[in-house]
Amino acid sequence: MEKKFAEIINEGCKSGESIEVINTKLKEAGANFHLNPDGGVANWTEAEMAEGFNQAETEPADVKHLHDYMRYDVTKAGQTVRVETPEGTYDITWDEGGHPEKAVRV
């Protein structure tokens, strides 16, 4: 979001302007979005929200990050393995002793 849009929203909220007035100012400034007057999530139906299209509040405990893979592992000695992590997809290479040598983002 451009700084001018954030300023319009922040100044409007501070001065107590209605959502409709702020939306009008955003449109005049060239914004391609608007604030939802009812306080809900714009363009999402209640059925979609009930189906689980809402954001997770916490990260699941079983998520493995890159640093979890970059550990000594004798079972992967001399191998290159492709892994998908929240940080991206990587080819991780271990040396003959099982120590991680490098992780290359693909």
CA distances from 16 to 36, 51, 84 (A): 16, 35, 46
What's the whole-model pTM score? Answer: 0.45
The pLDDT assigned to 12 comes to 87
On whether both 70 and 101 belong to a single domain, the answer is yes
The pLDDT assigned to 98 comes to 94
Q: Which domain holds residue 15?
A: 3-51
The pLDDT assigned to 79 comes to 94
Residue 97 resides in a domain: yes
Buried b or exposed e, range 43-54, using 16+ CB within 10 angstroms: eeeeeeeeeeee
* pLDDT tens sequence for the chain (106 residues): 556 888 888 888 889 888 888 888 888 888 888 887 766 555 666 776 667 655 667 766 788 899 999 999 999 999 999 999 988 999 999 999 999 999 999 9
* CA distance linking residue 66 with residue 102, whole number of Å: 11
* CA distance linking residue 94 with residue 72, whole number of Å: 8
In this structure, the dihedral spanned by the alpha carbons of residues 19, 22, 24 and 28, taken in order and rounded to 10 degrees, is -160
Count of domains observed in the chain: 2
CA angle 69/75/81 to nearest 5° reads: 50
